[in-house]
Amino acid sequence: MPILGAHMSIAGGYYKAIANGVKETCDCIQLFTKNNNQWKAKPITDEDVRLFQQQLDDHDIVHTLSHASYLINLGSPKDELWKKSIDAFIVELQRASQLGIPYVVVHPGSFTTSTEAEGIGRIAEALNEIHRQTRGISSQCLLETTAGQGTNLGWKFEQLAEMIDQCENPDQVGICADTCHMFAAGYNLCDEAAYQDTWNEFDKLIGLEKLKAFHLNDSKREFASRKDRHEHIGQGHMGLAPFRLLVNDTRFANTPMYLETAKGDAEGEYEGMSWDAANLKVLRSLIQN
């Protein structure tokens, strides 16, 4: 059975993300360990950790995932932002490790005024510095596949492979695959043959063993648009086919899959439910025995 969950808010405390996720029928939960639009963060207290662990134990949630701040740019050519990003990502790993969260997902970065190759080099160099400063910390980094907006890197498997190859500790870097981003980047998952080709290519260039998590999102924008706009499952340009293939793919049966779709009250067929519960219901309805 696939492991299905969603990104949940930490408003009111970390343990609330778990409690609310359980209410939405999540098997796994992604969260921010700090405000994602700010550099600063209040320290995590022992009481925060205790309450969080308690909720996990009470509800049998095995997989948790942290998503790093959107301000971080490990590919920046500007030294000040690059160093600030390294420091901030180290804090992200420390906070995740405090809460017992095994991985922190980060968008690899943007090259802005430099070049693709320079950006990739900066990201690898940043990861090396992060690894040097986080020896003994249990949480590891997952680079997310991106949609390739603007100068964002990580939308081509070759770029992700290059970042990992240039790393001194490639074993400490994994991948989080976002379905909306992959579709926007021009990776077709929508029919069986294309789906298999895409994962074969991923396996050849990066290795399927590096794939530690999925973000399940449909896309508001068309195939290869390079635009990152999430849509409810089955209601966007991707439709249900890629999700049916994913939730039935035995290679990914132990890889947690998290929704990052819009919150709120569902409409139409799912009126009376929250959107998270509705999207999870749709995904579970696709599982074939």
Binding interface with Zn ion (CB under 5 A): 178, 215, 228, 260
Minimum CB–partner distance for residue 45 and Zn ion (Å): 29
- C-beta of residue 182 within 8 angstroms of C-beta of residue 160: no
Minimum CB–partner distance for residue 258 and Zn ion (Å): 8
Token code pair at residue 46: 């022992």
Q: How far is CA 216 from CA 84, 192, 220, 258, in A?
A: 30, 17, 13, 6
| Nearer CB in complex with Zn ion: 203/260 | 260
| Nearer CB in complex with Zn ion: 122/220 | 220
The 8-class DSSP code of residue 251 comes to: G
| Nearer CB in complex with Zn ion: 63/215 | 215
| Nearer CB in complex with Zn ion: 48/174 | 174
- C-beta of residue 24 within 8 angstroms of C-beta of residue 276: yes
Residue type, 209: E
Q: What angle do CA 183, 187, 193 make, to 5 degrees?
A: 115
| Nearer CB in complex with Zn ion: 15/155 | 155
Minimum CB–partner distance for residue 178 and Zn ion (Å): 4
Minimum CB–partner distance for residue 186 and Zn ion (Å): 15
With CB atoms as reference, the residue minimizing the distance to Zn ion is 215
Residue of 94, 103, 144 whose CA lies nearest to 123: 144
Minimum CB–partner distance for residue 180 and Zn ion (Å): 6
